[in-house]
Structure 1
Amino acid sequence: MLDPTAILIFAGALFVAAASPGPGIAAIVARVLGRGTDGSVAFTAGVAIGDVVWLTLAVTGLAVLAQTFQAVFVAVKYAGAAYLLFLAWKLWTAPAAARDIAATTTRECQARLFLGGLAVTMGNPKVMVFYLALLPNLIDLRAIQPAGYAELVGVVLSVLTLVFSGYIMLAARARRLFTSARAMKTINRTTGAVMAGAAVAIATR
């Protein structure tokens, strides 16, 4: 079991890092604004599991391995950026007819959304830096046992669920303000541009 103080410090640092604007948050918000909440659970679950993967790499001492096979992680980074660009294109070209935005849109493949969210986190430099550089300064990773690792995973999933839920609710509320065809065209293209910006941020760091 980990020291409660260390857990609180880790949770606080993760909350600040997760809540601060970045490619992951931009992708989540832009997606909800442009497509609604349908599929948001699968997408954000992928984003969160990506954090768990980076946590696992840090705890198991695989940071060196990650650097050794840097080309693999570079490929994952560009895959995440490419997926965001695809989402940006879908948002930019989405129909702009007036509609009930609270209604469910065309359903998307949940597995593809999950993998898309995972790719976004695996290629997000901010997440990499947090787990591979900052985390070792917060917790003595060499002393972590299976129970301590489980605690950290629980903290990660709890904090990210809180942060992502907040952003999803805010974005969903903002989306309800746009009902006309002109407004929908504006929001689709604005969120598409935000998504493309997130892709550029991932690819160029």
Structure 2
Amino acid sequence: MELAVLLFFAGTLFAAAITPGPGIAALLARILGQGTHGAAFFVVGMICSDLFWFTLAIMGLSAIASNYELVFTALKWAGAAYLLYVAWGMWNSGGIIPTQANAAPLNASSRMTSLLAGLTMNLSNPKVVIFYMALMPNIVPMDQINLLAYWELVGTMAFVLFSVFGIYSVLAVTAKKLISSKRAFQRLNRGSSMVMVGVAATMVTR
């Protein structure tokens, strides 16, 4: 794949990803409410969903995907249910500020839960679906994609998305460090939980 195409794809993807949407809102609310515990696996799950839609677009299966509306509706509701579950926990957290000291051990089950949460939530993210299914075919010459070009694009996509999610994660961690009182953190938790509810509502109504 030509460098100019990769750079254009990277720039367009960065502009789309950096724009706040349901995925970014969920990531920020999760870090603000629960700290960075398990956030990396949540991010990996989100990126895996991008990879799924990217691969589907490359294979020219967007028309086929539209016939599996029931499956994607189920994923949408599963992602929304997880967000509501997290929102409920954050609302009732009592203002306990999460730290590495009081965080529960990150075992295989919690890693998988975080990864699947990011995956299911972002699979039904309309912004992601629209980018890969509608916009990407106009950004990348689909007829020039071979196995090498595919992996070049995947590497570019992973780099851009990790960078964007990393930027937002650092901003969330920095904001959380500025809050030291229990009452203030409880308010932040409840505000973040309301964001989660809003994201869940947006997901199921689109």
TM-score normalized with structure 2 length? 0.94
| Structure 1 residue aligned with 2:201 | 200
Name the residue aligned to 1:162: 163
Q: Which runs of 5+ in 1 are unaligned?
A: none
- Name the structure 2 match of 1:122: 123
Distance in structure 2 (CA, Å) of the matches to 1:18 and 1:100? 28
Q: CA deviation at 1:100?
A: 6.8
Q: Distance in 2 between matches of 1:35 and 1:43?
A: 12
Pair 75,142 (structure 1): closer, same or farther in 2 beyond 3 Å? farther
1:120-174, CA deviations, whole angstroms, 9 ceiling, x for partnerless residues? 1101000000000000010122321011110111011100110011111110010
Matched-pair contact (CA < 8 Å) for 1:59–1:142:
no
Letter of the aligned partner of 2:103 in structure 1?
Answer: T
Q: What is the rounded CA distance, in whole Å, between the counterparts of 1:142 and 1:75 in structure 2?
A: 33
CA-CA distance at 1:191 after TM superposition:
0.6
Whether contact under 8 Å (1:43, 1:117) holds in the other structure is yes
Tell me, yes or no, if the aligned pair for 1:27 and 1:198 is still in contact at 8 Å.
yes
How many residue pairs get aligned? The number is 203
Q: Which moved more, 1:74-83 or 1:40-49?
A: 74-83
Q: Distance in 1 between matches of 2:58 and 2:145?
A: 7
Q: Contact 1:39–1:107 at 8 Å: present in 2 too?
A: no
The one-letter amino acid paired with 2:177 is R
Contact kept? 2:44, 2:118, Cα under 8 Å = yes
Alignment of 1:60-79 (within 5 A): 60-79=59-78
Shift of 1:95: 2.5
Report the CA distance between 1:181 and its aligned residue: 1.5
Structure 1 residue identity aligned to 2:135: L
After superposition, the Cα gap between the structure-2 partners of 1:100 and 1:136, relative to the gap in structure 1 and judged at 3 Å, is: closer
Aligned residues of 2:45 and 2:115 also touching (Cα < 8 A): yes
Q: Secondary structure at the match of 1:136?
A: helix
Partners of 1:63 and 1:100 in 2: how far apart? Answer: 42
How far residue 105 of structure 1 moved from its aligned partner, in angstroms, is 2.1
Deviation at 1:107, TM superposition (A): 4.0
RMSD: 1.4
For the 8 Å contact 2:46–2:119, the answer to whether it is kept is yes
- What is the rounded CA distance, in whole Å, between the counterparts of 2:16 and 2:156 in structure 1? 14
Tell me if structure 2 keeps the 8 A contact 1:79–1:119: yes
Structure 2: gaps of 5 or more residues: none
Q: Which position in structure 2 is the counterpart of 1:25?
A: 24
2:103 equivalent in structure 1: 105
Aligned to 1:141: 142
Task: Check conservation: 2:90, 2:189, Cα contact below 8 A.
Answer: yes
CA contact (8 A) 1:101 1:175 kept: no
Q: Percent identity?
A: 42
Instruction: Answer whether contact 1:102 1:176 (CA < 8 A) is retained.
Output: no
Relative to structure 1, is the Cα distance of residues 86 and 190 closer, same or farther in structure 2, using a 3 angstrom cutoff? same
Aligned pairs for 1:183-194 (under 5 A) are 183-194=184-195
SS at match of 1:69: helix
Give the partner amino acid of 1:27: A
Cα deviation for residue 198 of structure 1 reads: 1.1
